[in-house]
Amino acid sequence: MTRLLRDHIACVRTRRSRADILRRVLPWFCIFLFAAAAEAQVQVDLKFKRLQFIAHEPVVATVAITNLAGRDIELHDADGQSWLGFEITGSEEQPIPPLSGANREPPLRIQAGQRVTRQIDLTPLYPVHEYGAYHVRTNIYFADLGKFFYSGTRVFEVTDARPIWQQTVGVPDGAGASGEVRTYSLMTNRFPDHTSLYVRVQDQDTGVVYATYSLGRTISFEQPQAEIDRSNQLHVLHCAAPRAWSYARHKRRPVIRRNSFRIGLAAAGLLTTFLACSSYAAKSSRSSGGDSSPITVVIDAGHGGYDRGGIPGQRVSEKDMTLDVAQRLGRALEASGYRVVMTRNSDVFVPLGTRCAIANSYRNAIFVSVHFNSATRRGASGIETYFYSRDSLALASAIHHYVAGGAPSENRGVRRRGYYVLRRTNMPAVLVECGFLTNPTEAAYAQNASYRQKLAEAIAAGVRSRNSVASSFSTTRVATAESIP
């Protein structure tokens, strides 16, 4: 009996102990549930379309707000707080305050379970035009709870583009800033997978930037064409993709109007007509020596970027010499009325397949690849020109005649070789070796600007006279057309 009584007392004590624990824990558990529910009231996400922006261009943030409160809510300014804000820090972790006078967002009503997105341009709200990295997170103030909700932190970088064209004009009478001076600039920026073209408008005297806008993707080998009309409006035509062009017009106000079109079979005629209608000074194709076609010359500067060309230990970089001669050749041919396309116009690496694709996107064209030679034997020297198909022989012979005839180097002749850019181009195609950079004498010639100009002019003369090539050229060893496909 005594044992039974002791067990009953122990059981009562255990129940009381459990009740005490429950009374102590329950309030804290309720607080935890309330806090979790409060945290889940509003979900905020922040994204940027790109991680890199050009100074003064719009930095657009996409803010997504999801209502998880289980009821309709309204976000509005209250308690001296704006319902939508951003916390931004610079490269040195210094806070970036908002600009004074920035417009506030109107109230936003969100239904239960609804997700709403807003695109906010940070440029007029915060001074984020200095170069460097910026850390950003969004905060949403929910007045019903008197609580802030935050997004995750995102990072973007502000840099500047490379200017490629610039012109200063006056603001015409009747405009809002009549009498002032504006500077238009075209700039390019290379991203990991593409190159973009930008236009910038700024005050010539104060340097204040009024606008920087992206004109979209561009192909770097094709130089954009820019003109100022009588009203001092900027017109830009640039190649956005092979045989695809984009036209933009910048009015006195910072507004960009863009149109895109593709170059079809009558590419040259369509482009010339379009440029004329847009007040461009279109160059007409002039014939030379009975030559009326083709009017497009694709110039390929060998190597580039990390590919220096030549052999290991070579002192003179082939990629620099080929680019300089190619650019001089382009100017010489443009002066003769030819349309010129460059596979590269700067120190970048372009794969062989891309070079061929660029060339094959143009009809009624020829392809000229500019190279310099190299050898382990320092005494190796001379000029040689390569071709592959039968219809390239006349072009190779004409170019070699003028280059070898005017160079103080050995004439190594015209040779047939199956180089990639000669086999994979659907047009007359040649590759010119303008001398050996491993030969001290020819390397010294190549480093002379006037000599490189003579090389370019000689190649241009060969292009112009390719249809009047005669087999009696005495200074050129011309390969025969027998057994040539």
User: Could you give the maximum distance between any two Cα atoms of the chain, in Å?
Assistant: 136
Q: What pLDDT, on the 0 to 100 scale, is given for residue 383?
A: 95
Q: Left if phi > 0, otherwise alpha if psi is -120 to 50, otherwise beta: which for 103?
A: beta
Q: What pLDDT, on the 0 to 100 scale, is given for residue 167?
A: 85
- Assess contact for 88 and 134: CB atoms under 8 A: yes
* 318 pLDDT higher than 70: yes
* CA 97 from centre of chain: 31
Mean pLDDT for the stretch of residues 232-251? 75
Helix (H, G, I), strand (E, B) or coil at 276: helix
Nearest to 298 by CA among 345, 255, 257, 249: 345
Q: Report CA torsion sign: 484, 322, 328, 352.
A: positive
Q: Which of 125-129, 402-406, 453-457 has the highest mean pLDDT?
A: 453-457
Residue with tokens 């969004």: 138
Least confident of 186-200, 243-257, 468-482: 468-482
Please report, for the chain, the start and end positions of each structural domain, with discontinuous segments joined by +.
1-39, 43-158, 163-277, 296-468
Q: What pLDDT, on the 0 to 100 scale, is given for residue 144?
A: 86
* 178 pLDDT higher than 80: no
Helix (H, G, I), strand (E, B) or coil at 75: strand
Least confident of 124-138, 156-170, 459-473: 459-473
> Within 13 Å of residue 156, how many CA atoms lie on the same side as its CB?
25
- Provide the pLDDT confidence category of residue 220 given band limits of 50, 70 and 90: low
Q: What pLDDT, on the 0 to 100 scale, is given for residue 18?
A: 57
* 32 pLDDT higher than 60: no
Rounded Cα distance, 224 and 214, in Å: 14
Element (H, E) at 244: strand 244-250
Per CATH, the homologous superfamily of domain 296-468 is Zn-dependent exopeptidases (3.40.630.40)
Rounded Cα distance, 48 and 194, in Å: 18
Q: What pLDDT, on the 0 to 100 scale, is given for residue 244?
A: 72
Least confident of 1-10, 48-57, 250-259, 436-445: 250-259
Determine how β-strand 365-373 pairs with β-strand 411-416. unpaired
- Provide the pLDDT confidence category of residue 265 given band limits of 50, 70 and 90: very low
Residue type, 305: G
Rounded Cα distance, 125 and 120, in Å: 9
Nearest to 219 by CA among 326, 356, 361, 344: 344
- Provide the pLDDT confidence category of residue 237 given band limits of 50, 70 and 90: confident
Mean pLDDT for the stretch of residues 66-87? 90
pLDDT tens digits for range 348-396: 888 898 899 889 888 889 999 999 999 999 999 999 999 999 899 999 9
* 331 pLDDT higher than 90: yes
Nearest to 220 by CA among 248, 199, 191: 191
* CA 132 from centre of chain: 19
Of residues 202 and 440, more confidently modeled: 440
Considering the four listed CATH numbers 3.40.50.2300, 3.40.1190.20, 2.60.40.2970, 3.40.50.720, the one that applies to the domain covering 43-158 is: 2.60.40.2970
Q: What pLDDT, on the 0 to 100 scale, is given for residue 275?
A: 35
**pTM of this prediction?**
0.47
Q: What pLDDT, on the 0 to 100 scale, is given for residue 235?
A: 82
Alpha helix segments (H runs only) across 80-218: none
Of residues 304 and 266, more confidently modeled: 304
Mean pLDDT for the stretch of residues 132-142? 93
Nearest to 322 by CA among 340, 297, 348, 296: 348
Token digits of residue 167 = 């012109």
* 258 pLDDT higher than 70: no
Q: What pLDDT, on the 0 to 100 scale, is given for residue 290?
A: 40
Q: What pLDDT, on the 0 to 100 scale, is given for residue 280?
A: 30
Token digits of residue 149 = 């909700």
Rounded Cα distance, 334 and 457, in Å: 12
Q: What pLDDT, on the 0 to 100 scale, is given for residue 177?
A: 55
Rounded Cα distance, 457 and 434, in Å: 12
